[in-house]
Copies of this chain bind each other. A is one copy, B any other.
Amino acid sequence: MTQRVLIAGAWRDADAPAGTFRAVDPATGEETGPAFPTSSVADVEACLAAGAAAAVALADVHPARVAAFLDDYAARVDADAPRLAALAARETGLPVEPRLLRVEIPRTTGQLRQAAEAARTWSFAHPIIDTRAGLRSCFGPLAKPVLVLGPGNFPFAFNAAAGGDFAAALAARNPVIAKAHPGHPATSQALAEHAAAAIGAAELPPATLQLVYDVPAAVGLALAGDARLGAIAFTGSRRGGLALKAAADAAGVAIYLEMSSINPVFLLPGAVAERGDAIAEELAASCTLGAGQFCTNPGLVALVDGPAAERFVAETARRFAAAPPGVLLGRGVRDGLEASLAELTGVGARVVAGGRRPDGPGFRFSPTLLATSGRTFLSRRAALQREAFGPASLLVLAADADELAAIAAALEGNLTSAIYSASDGRDEDLYRAVARALRARAGRLLDDKMPTGVAVSPAMAHGGPYPATAHPGATSVGIPAAIRRFVALHGYDHVRDAHLPPVLRDRNPGDVWRSIDGRWTKEDVS
Structural contact, B459 and A488, CB atoms closer than 8 A = no
CB distance from A49 to the nearest CB of B (A): 15
Q: What residues on B are CB-neighbors of A269 within 8 Å? A: none
- Given A439-B140, A440-B56, A499-B431, verify A459-B494 contact (CB < 8 Å): no
Number of copies: 2
Q: Which residue of B lies closest to A463 (CB)?
A: B489
Chain A 344-385 per-residue mask, 1 if CB under 8 angstroms from chain B, else 0: 000000000000000000000000000000000000000000
Structural contact, B493 and A445, CB atoms closer than 8 A = yes
Q: What residues on B are CB-neighbors of A246 within 8 Å? A: 249-250
- Complex Cα distance, B256 from A252, in Å, reads 12
Structural contact, A445 and B495, CB atoms closer than 8 A = yes
Q: What residues on B are CB-neighbors of A440 within 8 Å? A: 56, 59, 143-144, 488
| A404 on interface, CB distance cutoff 8 Å | no
Q: What residues on B are CB-neighbors of A253 within 8 Å? A: 466
CB distance from A245 to the nearest CB of B (A): 7
Structural contact, A495 and B458, CB atoms closer than 8 A = no
Q: What residues on B are CB-neighbors of A471 within 8 Å? A: 254
Give the interface centre of A465, A471, A490 by most chain B CB atoms within 10 Å: A490
Structural contact, B459 and A136, CB atoms closer than 8 A = yes
| A400 on interface, CB distance cutoff 8 Å | no
Interface residue from B133, B439, B520 paired with A490 (Cβ < 8 Å): B439
| A340 on interface, CB distance cutoff 8 Å | no
Q: Which residue of B lies closest to A485 (CB)?
A: B473
Structural contact, A457 and B488, CB atoms closer than 8 A = no
Q: What residues on B are CB-neighbors of A45 within 8 Å? A: none
Chain A 118-147 per-residue mask, 1 if CB under 8 angstroms from chain B, else 0: 000000000011100101110110111000
- Complex Cα distance, B460 from A2, in Å, reads 52
Chain A 60-79 per-residue mask, 1 if CB under 8 angstroms from chain B, else 0: 10000000000000000000
Give the interface centre of A245, A455, A465, A491 by most chain B CB atoms within 10 Å: A491
Structural contact, A489 and B443, CB atoms closer than 8 A = yes
Structural contact, B135 and A459, CB atoms closer than 8 A = yes
| A192 on interface, CB distance cutoff 8 Å | no
CB distance from A309 to the nearest CB of B (A): 23
Structural contact, B473 and A484, CB atoms closer than 8 A = yes
Q: What residues on B are CB-neighbors of A227 within 8 Å? A: 466
Structural contact, B463 and A60, CB atoms closer than 8 A = no
- Given A245-B249, A435-B499, A459-B137, verify A473-B487 contact (CB < 8 Å): yes
List A79-108 residues whose CB lies under 8 Å from chain B.
none
Q: What residues on B are CB-neighbors of A521 within 8 Å? A: 520
- Complex Cα distance, B250 from A5, in Å, reads 34
The stretch from A215-223, A319-327, A446-454 touching chain B is: A446-454
Structural contact, B60 and A444, CB atoms closer than 8 A = no
- Given A60-B436, A254-B471, A440-B143, verify A459-B491 contact (CB < 8 Å): yes
Give the interface centre of A59, A435, A465, A470 by most chain B CB atoms within 10 Å: A465
Q: What residues on B are CB-neighbors of A493 within 8 Å? A: 416, 444-447, 449, 451
- Complex Cα distance, B459 from A489, in Å, reads 10
| A21 on interface, CB distance cutoff 8 Å | no
Chain A 228-256 per-residue mask, 1 if CB under 8 angstroms from chain B, else 0: 00100000000000000110011011100
Structural contact, A458 and B254, CB atoms closer than 8 A = no
- Complex Cα distance, B474 from A82, in Å, reads 43
Give the interface centre of A252, A446, A449, A485 by most chain B CB atoms within 10 Å: A252
Structural contact, A491 and B444, CB atoms closer than 8 A = yes
- Given A143-B439, A252-B467, verify A455-B499 contact (CB < 8 Å): no
- Given A140-B439, A436-B56, A446-B494, verify A460-B254 contact (CB < 8 Å): no
CB distance from A291 to the nearest CB of B (A): 23
Q: What residues on B are CB-neighbors of A475 within 8 Å? A: 137, 489, 491
Interface residue from B443, B466, B485, B491 paired with A445 (Cβ < 8 Å): B491
| A461 on interface, CB distance cutoff 8 Å | yes
Structural contact, B494 and A448, CB atoms closer than 8 A = yes
Q: What residues on B are CB-neighbors of A494 within 8 Å? A: 446-449
A-B contact pairs, 5 of them (CB 8 A): A130-B457, A133-B459, A249-B249, A443-B488, A463-B489
Q: A246-B249, A481-B489 are in contact. List 13 more A-B contacts (CB 8 A).
A: A56-B436, A130-B457, A133-B459, A143-B440, A246-B250, A254-B472, A254-B473, A446-B492, A447-B495, A449-B493, A458-B518, A462-B491, A472-B487
Interface residues of A (CB under 8 A from B): 56, 59-60, 128-130, 133, 135-137, 139-140, 142-144, 227, 230, 245-246, 249-250, 252-254, 416, 431, 435-436, 439-440, 443-449, 451, 455, 457-463, 465-467, 470-475, 478, 481, 484-485, 487-496, 499, 513, 515, 518, 520-521
Closest 6 A-B residue pairs measured CB to CB? A461-B491, A520-B520, A143-B440, A252-B466, A444-B491, A249-B249
